[in-house]
Amino acid sequence: MPAFCQTARDSLSAYVDGELPPDRAAEIADHLTTCPACSAEYQALLETVAALRSQLTRFTAPDVLRARIRAAVAATPSESVAAEQIRPSARNDRRRLTRALGVAAAVFVGAALGAGGTLVAAGGGRNAAPVASEVLASHVRSLIPDHLTDVRSSDQHNVKPWFNGRLDYSPTVLRFDDQGYPLIGGRVDYVGGRPVAVVVYGRRQHMINVFSWPTGSGDAPVATRTVNGYNMISWRHGGSERWVVSDLNAAELRSFAALLQRADSVSS
Amino acid sequence: MSHSVLDRFEQTIVPLLDDAYTLARHLLRDEHDAQDVVQEAYLRAWRYFGGFHGGDERAWLLTIVRNCSYTWRRKGPAEHVPYDDEAHSADAPARNGADARAIDDSERQRLTSALDRLPAEFREALVLREIEGLSYHDIARVTGVPVGTVMSRLARARERMRRLLKRTA
Q: Could A56 and B152 be called an inter-chain contact, meaning their C-beta atoms sit closer than 8 Å?
A: no
Q: Do A224 and A93 fall within a single domain?
A: yes
Q: Which residue from B50, B71, B127 is facing A92, i.e. has the nearest CB? A: B71
Nearest CA in chain A to B47: A81
Distance of CA B86 to the CA centre of its chain: 19
Whether A146 sits inside 8 A of B36 (CB atoms) is yes
Residue B2 confidence (pLDDT): 52
For B9, residues 6+ apart whose C-beta sits below 8 A from its C-beta are A73, B45, B46, B49
Cβ-nearest to B136 among A17, A73, A85: A17
- Assigned CATH class of B1-81: mainly alpha
Q: Which structural domain range is residue A84 located in?
A: 65-267
A57/B151 touch (CB, cutoff 8 Å), yes or no: no
A136 is a domain residue: yes
Distance in Å, alpha carbon of B103 to nearest chain A alpha carbon = 11
User: What percentage of chain A exceeds 70 in pLDDT?
Assistant: 76
Nearest to B142 by CA among B160, B154, B124, B156: B124
Q: Is A109 helix (H, G, I), strand (E, B) or coil?
A: helix
Band (pLDDT 50/70/90 cuts) for residue B6 is: confident
Contact list, B39 vs chain A (CB under 8 Å): 65, 68-69, 72, 145
Of A19, A44, A65, the CB nearest to B21: A65
Percent above pLDDT 90 for chain B: 56
| Probe site for chain A from B27, B29, B46 (most A CB atoms < 10 A) | B46
Write out pLDDT tens, residues A123-179. Answer: 333 334 567 777 887 787 777 656 677 778 778 888 888 888 788 888 888 889 888
pTM confidence score: 0.54
Residue of B3, B12, B17, B126 to mutate, interface with A, max A Cβ within 10 Å: B17
Does residue A255 sit in the same domain as residue A198? yes
Residues A32 and A82 in one domain: no
Mean pLDDT, chain B, integer: 82
User: What's the pLDDT tens digit per position in B93-151?
Assistant: 443 444 555 656 787 888 888 999 999 999 999 999 999 999 999 999 999 999 999 99
- Are B5 and A51 a contacting pair at CB < 8 A? no
Domain ranges of chain B: 1-81, 99-169
Residue A234 lies in a domain: yes
Q: Is the CB of A69 less than 8 angstroms away from the CB of B22?
A: no
> Do A208 and A263 fall within a single domain?
yes
Is 2.60.40.1180 the CATH classification of the domain at B99-169?
no
Q: Which residues of B114-153 are buried (b: 16+ CB within 10 A; e: fewer)?
A: bbbebebebbbbbbbbbbbebbbebbbbbbeeeeebbbeb
Q: Which of A34, A55, A76 is the last residue of a domain?
A: A55
Clarify whether residues A246 and A130 are in a common domain.
yes
User: How far is A35 from A100, CA to CA, in rounded Å?
Assistant: 62
- In this prediction, residue B102 carries a pLDDT of 60
Asked if residue A227 is part of any domain, the answer here is yes
Mark yes or no for CB contact A76/B43 under 8 Å. Answer: yes
* CB neighbour class for A265 (10 Å; exposed up to 12, middle 13-18, buried from 19): exposed
A238 and A126: one domain? Answer: yes
**Tell me, what's the ipTM?**
0.81
pLDDT per residue of chain A (268 residues) written in tens, 0 to 9: 888 999 999 999 999 888 988 888 888 888 888 899 999 999 899 889 988 988 888 999 998 999 889 888 887 765 445 444 434 333 344 444 444 444 454 444 444 443 333 333 333 333 345 677 778 877 877 776 566 777 787 788 888 888 887 888 888 888 898 888 988 888 888 777 677 899 999 988 788 999 999 888 888 899 998 887 789 999 998 889 999 999 899 999 999 999 999 887 776 5
Question: Do B107 and A100 lie within an 8 Å CB cutoff?
Answer: no
Distance CA A95, CA A123 (A): 37
A63 close to B36: Cβ distance less than 8 angstroms: no
Residue numbers in A near B65 (CB within 8 A): none
pLDDT at B40: 92
The 3-state secondary structure of chain B reads CHHHHHHHHHHHCHHHHHHHHHHHHHHHCCHHHHHHHHHHHHHHHHHHHHHCCCCCHHHHHHHHHHHHHHHHHHHCCCCCCCCCHHHHHHHCCCCCCCHHHHHHHHHHHHHHHHHHCCCHHHHHHHHHHHHCCCCHHHHHHHHCCCHHHHHHHHHHHHHHHHHHHHHHC
Q: Please count the structural domains in chain A.
A: 2
* DSSP designation for A178: G
Q: Within a domain: residue A60?
A: no
Pick from A57, A65, A84: CB nearest B35? A65
Same domain, A11 and A92: no
Within this chain, do residues A69 and A50 fall inside the same structural domain, yes or no?
A: no
pLDDT digits (tens, 9 = 90+) for B55-89: 789 999 999 999 999 998 887 654 444 443 333 44
Which residue, A33, A55, A77, sits at the end of a domain? Answer: A55
| Higher local confidence (pLDDT), A173 or B1 | A173
Residue A18 and residue A78 in one domain: no
Tell me if residue A171 falls in helix, strand or coil. coil
CA distance A73 to chain B (A): 6
Contact: B47, A100; criterion CB under 8 Å: yes
Give the confidence band of B3 by pLDDT, cuts at 50, 70, 90. Answer: low
Residues of A in contact with B161 (CB under 8 A): 48, 52
Do both A17 and A108 map to the same domain? no
